[in-house]
Amino acid sequence: MNSRSLLAALSLALLLSGCALPERPVAVSPAAATRFHDAVDWSKAGDEAVETLRGYLRVDTVNPPGNETRGARYMADILDREKIPYAIVESAPGRGNLIARLDPPPGTATEAPLCLFSHIDVVTAEVEKWPKETGPLSGAIAPGGIGADKDKPYIWGRGALDMKGLGALELETMVLLKRMNVPLKRSVILLAVAGEETDSSGAQFVVDHHWDKLQCSQSVNEGGIGIKDLLVPGQTVYTISVAEKGTLWLKMTAHGEAGHGSTPAPGRAPDRLIMAIRKLKARQDEPIIHPSLYELAARVGHEHGGITGFVLTRPWLVDRLVLDQLMENPAARATLFNTVNITGFTGMKEPNVIPSEVSAIIDGRVLPGTSPEKWLEEIKKTVDDPNITFAVIDAHGGNGSPWDDPFFDALAKHAVDGRAGVVAGPALSPGYTDSLFLRNKGVHAYGFVPFEISKEELAYFHGRDERVSVENVKRGLRSLFRAVVDVSAK
Ligand SMILES: [Zn+2]
């Protein structure tokens, strides 16, 4: 935003600031559900969730190779103890996927099942780079906060955030529903899959071969999270991912005469490749704004109030004043465009040999609404060189779910939990998760880990110091359980 447009906006906003912000309806928990909200001993249940997570982190499900059946067995032991029925189905030897369920009495369900979804595998960890006492498989409790929070207890281990944390909360939610004998109007299904971190093989397998056991209409999985000071200082924004970009992974190959490196000549493959990349990088596309951006801005603005609130609650002002700022942030920028990202090269030979073929690997991403085929056409048109060919490595479209949905409302409501300076709203994610497969089955799939972290803590995802605060696990359990009860209790 330049200073002139800022000034114009502020004077305009001041001129109009007599106008109140539009009223926003507040989601209300059904009476059938609220009686269970505080029927739990939250201190005890929170401690139990912490121990469940610690044990889960100690199970080695590092992918590759995954060994997710170990993680599924760990959960199964707890389910056995609580007499919750489950099945473990392997997509390949050792690659277990867990489906556990709580069903209403036969013939009494009035709604399709709710899926509590997670992945069991975790990414690799460079063990030697982790602190000794708090290693990736330790599940240790040790101080881990930043600044004023440095003495706060954290649970350490690979997967604390991505995503054994939410997996443990979902398991604990099943346990609480069972122990309290909550009368259900729908099945609640715990679905924990293998292989997410490499190829989504578990989710694909379960959706292809076991959909008859699931058939959920709504789900929660990883995706958004609460981030402190995300847009304005002092305010925490919980983003609930409602849509995800798709992929177009390509090998772009330039062809030309082979030759001697001492003699530059036109039309050689490496030069062609460089030209093609230049053309792709020079594209100046118009940003495509996903409707969730306006909705999130409006919710943030409404909570914040004042001139900022005035601007954020009006899409035309967001276009004029906020978009430029978003474009400067790489993660936010990625949600506004179909993208082309060069992630590697192949085909180089000795320094003095010009190869006849050289390739760039492209990680392309498409917004929901743009098909990978359409984006490939655009890329070819931009490159416009008959000596450049494209091979598709992998491609799938993006997709989204509406946020006008009772489960979305319940997740948002209980994340905020009436606290000032906290807001929750929908967002488009630049990456994709296993939720993509469920959305393709018509599920309203939401990406939401009910933890509240700082921007610095975001670096713990896949980092060498992954951890989550005990406080987050306890508050997260309460918020997830209440949201699930709101849409499942009879
Ligand atoms: Zn994950």
- With CA atoms as reference, report the closest residue to 194 among 85, 59, 79: 59
Structure tokens at 37: 């909200």
Compute the distance from residue 391 Cα to the ligand 1 centre, in Å.
28
What are the two backbone dihedrals, phi and then psi, of residue 169, each rounded to the nearest 5 degrees? -65, -35
In this structure, is residue 241 part of a structural domain? no
- How many domains are there within the chain? 2
Q: 219 and 250 share a domain?
A: no
Instruction: Give the least confident one: 25-29, 172-176, 204-208.
Output: 25-29
Compute the distance from residue 222 Cα to the ligand 1 centre, in Å.
6
pLDDT of residue 178: 98
CATH of residue 369: 3.30.70.360
- 316 burial via Cβ count (<10 Å: 0-12, 13-18, 19+): exposed
Q: 371 and 458 share a domain?
A: no
pLDDT of residue 349: 87
Q: Can you say whether residue 295 is alpha, beta or left, with left for phi > 0 and alpha for psi between -120 and 50 degrees?
A: alpha
Last residue of a domain, one of 370, 396, 422: 396
CATH of residue 211: 3.40.630.10
Decide if pLDDT at 103 tops 90.
Answer: yes
Record the pTM. Answer: 0.92
Q: 324 and 371 share a domain?
A: yes
Owner of token pair 């499900």:
61
Q: 219 and 252 share a domain?
A: no
Compute the distance from residue 294 Cα to the ligand 1 centre, in Å.
26
Compute the distance from residue 240 Cα to the ligand 1 centre, in Å.
15
Q: Can you say whether residue 94 is alpha, beta or left, with left for phi > 0 and alpha for psi between -120 and 50 degrees?
A: left
Q: 135 and 215 share a domain?
A: yes
Q: 363 and 471 share a domain?
A: no
Compute the distance from residue 448 Cα to the ligand 1 centre, in Å.
11
Segment 347-373 mean pLDDT: 96
Residues shown for the chain? 490
Q: 72 and 199 share a domain?
A: yes
Q: 390 and 483 share a domain?
A: no
CA of residue 342 relative to chain centroid, distance: 23
Q: 199 and 292 share a domain?
A: no
Last residue of a domain, one of 343, 370, 396: 396
Compute the distance from residue 263 Cα to the ligand 1 centre, in Å.
49
- With CA atoms as reference, report the closest residue to 160 among 57, 45, 64, 60: 57
Decide if pLDDT at 284 tops 70.
Answer: yes
**Integer Rg of the chain from CA:** 25
Last residue of a domain, one of 396, 421, 452: 396
Q: 378 and 451 share a domain?
A: no
- 133 burial via Cβ count (<10 Å: 0-12, 13-18, 19+): exposed
- Report the distance separating Cα 33 and Cα 45, nearest Å: 18
> Alpha-carbon dihedral of residues 435, 60, 481, 154, nearest 10 degrees?
-120
pLDDT of residue 462: 86
pLDDT (tens digit, 9 = 90+) per residue, 454-466?
988 888 888 889 9
Compute the distance from residue 437 Cα to the ligand 1 centre, in Å.
14
Q: 190 and 45 share a domain?
A: yes
Compute the distance from residue 424 Cα to the ligand 1 centre, in Å.
21
Decide if pLDDT at 121 tops 80.
Answer: yes
Q: Which domain holds residue 62?
A: 31-224+433-488
pLDDT of residue 470: 98
Segment 387-416 mean pLDDT: 97
C-alpha pair distances (Å), 156 with each of 60, 66, 368: 14, 19, 35
Segment 366-378 mean pLDDT: 97
Compute the distance from residue 195 Cα to the ligand 1 centre, in Å.
10
In this structure, is residue 416 part of a structural domain? no
- 351 burial via Cβ count (<10 Å: 0-12, 13-18, 19+): exposed
In this structure, is residue 26 part of a structural domain? no
Q: In what order do the strands lie in the sheet with 467-469?
A: 141-143, 153-156, 467-469
**Which residues neighbour 106 within 8 Å (Cβ) at sequence distance 6 or greater?**
none
In this structure, is residue 45 part of a structural domain? yes
Decide if pLDDT at 23 tops 70.
Answer: no
Compute the distance from residue 165 Cα to the ligand 1 centre, in Å.
10
Residues flanking ion ligand 1, Cβ below 5 Å: 162-163, 222
Compute the distance from residue 163 Cα to the ligand 1 centre, in Å.
5
Compute the distance from residue 57 Cα to the ligand 1 centre, in Å.
14
How many percent of the chain have pLDDT more than 70? 95
Average pLDDT, the chain: 93
In this structure, is residue 17 part of a structural domain? no
In this structure, is residue 9 part of a structural domain? no
pLDDT (tens digit, 9 = 90+) per residue, 289-319?
999 999 999 999 999 999 999 999 999 999 9
In this structure, is residue 79 part of a structural domain? yes
In this structure, is residue 24 part of a structural domain? no
Decide if pLDDT at 14 tops 70.
Answer: no
Decide if pLDDT at 16 tops 60.
Answer: no
Structure tokens at 440: 């393709």
How confident is residue 184, by pLDDT bands cut at 50, 70 and 90?
A: very high
Compute the distance from residue 302 Cα to the ligand 1 centre, in Å.
31
- With CA atoms as reference, report the closest residue to 375 among 392, 400, 399, 358: 392
Q: 85 and 153 share a domain?
A: yes
pLDDT (tens digit, 9 = 90+) per residue, 250-279?
999 999 999 999 999 999 999 999 999 999
pLDDT of residue 175: 98
Compute the distance from residue 490 Cα to the ligand 1 centre, in Å.
32
